[in-house]
């Protein structure tokens, strides 16, 4: 079996065994399901509110689960030295980081599916139309964002404590969604562009992967947005994996 796939399977099984997948997935799915019944203050826009709750919960929930699994899979092993023992076997640092990333992303898939199904059930419960294609598109974008943040969490967990790595990933999530506000605040002056580049060059643009508002209005993300989002997530995650592999290689040399 491919070493990366084997590590991914082990990461996924460990996440399930430690209830990092099932319990949060169930809680989030129940919240989404009940959103249709507590949307009485939607002032005639209850269906829009349910769609927005589904999309936003997907965006945050899938990313949170992927990040928790990714950091938990590597941070503890880094601090007790177990991660470096992997290199006794014929494994490369890239295979280890990529396997952890795939495993954490696989752990986020059941949660995303559960939240998507709950959103569809909530809309059907109310008698509203169920946008199947729109829900599938939102789910795909949520998983793309989860891949980006999980790769960031992995890279941070190599040199930081688990809690610090989690806070770092949360900060990247927040800053990635604040880019429009920063762009407007900095303006288009040369100095504003410099400040914007310095502050946000390493921060992923997560706004493009968050279709909460348009989906809430009943708009399905265009196919081009899906393609660009998936490609962007793959490229960013690949860069983060390469960075994580380099940091892990340095940690291996330092402890040798």
The per-residue pLDDT for range 3-59, each reduced to its tens digit, is 888 888 988 888 888 777 888 888 889 988 887 777 555 566 777 888 888 999 999
The per-residue pLDDT for range 168-188, each reduced to its tens digit, is 999 999 988 887 777 677 766
- pLDDT score recorded for residue 179: 75
pLDDT of 67 higher than 90: yes
Q: What is the DSSP string of the chain?
A: --HHHHHHHHHHHHHHHTTSSHHHHHHHHHHHHHHTTSGGGSTT-HHHHHHHHHHHHHHHHHHHHHHHHHHHHHHHHHHHTHHHHGGGSS--HHHHHHHHHHHHHHHHHHHHHHHHHHHHHHHHHHT----HHHHHHHHHHHHHHHHHHHHHHHHHHHHS-HHHHHHHHHHHHHHHHSHHHHHHHH-SSHHHHHHHHHHHTTS---GGG--HHHHHTTPPPPHHHHHHHHHHHHHHHHHHHHHHHHHHHHHHHHH-
* Domain containing residue 52: 3-255
Number of domains within the chain: 1
The structure tokens listed for 69 are 């699994």
- pLDDT score recorded for residue 79: 56
The structure tokens listed for 221 are 């993300």
Report the predicted TM-score, pTM, of the whole model to 2 decimal places. 0.86
Contacts 24+ apart (CB under 8 A), 251-255: 251/78, 251/83, 251/84, 251/158, 251/159, 252/84, 252/87, 252/93, 255/81, 255/84
Cα separation of 143 and 133, whole Å? 15
The per-residue pLDDT for range 72-114, each reduced to its tens digit, is 887 766 555 555 455 555 677 788 888 999 999 999 999 999 9
């Amino acid at each position: 079996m491919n070493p990366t796939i084997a590590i991914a399977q082990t990461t996924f099984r460990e996440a399930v065994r430690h209830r990092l997948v099932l319990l949060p997935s169930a809680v989030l799915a129940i919240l989404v399901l009940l959103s249709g019944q507590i949307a009485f203050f939607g002032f005639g826009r209850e269906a829009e509110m349910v769609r927005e709750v589904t999309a936003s919960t997907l965006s945050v929930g899938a990313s949170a689960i992927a990040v928790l699994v990714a950091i938990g899979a590597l941070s503890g092993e880094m601090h007790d030295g177990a991660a470096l023992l992997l290199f006794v076997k014929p494994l490369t640092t890239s295979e280890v980081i990529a396997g952890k990333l795939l495993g954490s992303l696989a752990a986020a898939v059941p949660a995303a599916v559960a939240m998507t199904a709950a959103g569809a059930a909530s809309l059907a419960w109310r008698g509203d139309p169920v946008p199947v294609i729109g829900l599938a598109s939102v789910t795909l974008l949520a998983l793309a964002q989860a891949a980006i943040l999980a790769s960031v969490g992995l890279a941070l967990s190599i040199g930081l404590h688990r809690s610090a790595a989690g806070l770092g990933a949360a900060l990247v999530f927040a800053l990635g969604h604040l880019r429009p506000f920063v762009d407007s605040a900095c303006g288009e002056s040369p100095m504003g562009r410099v400040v914007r580049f310095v502050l946000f060059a390493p921060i992923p643009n997560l706004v493009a992967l968050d279709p909460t508002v348009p989906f809430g209005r009943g708009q399905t993300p265009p196919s081009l947005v899906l393609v660009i989002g998936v490609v962007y997530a793959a490229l960013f995650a690949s860069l983060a994996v390469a960075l994580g592999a380099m940091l892990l290689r340095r940690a291996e040399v330092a402890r040798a």
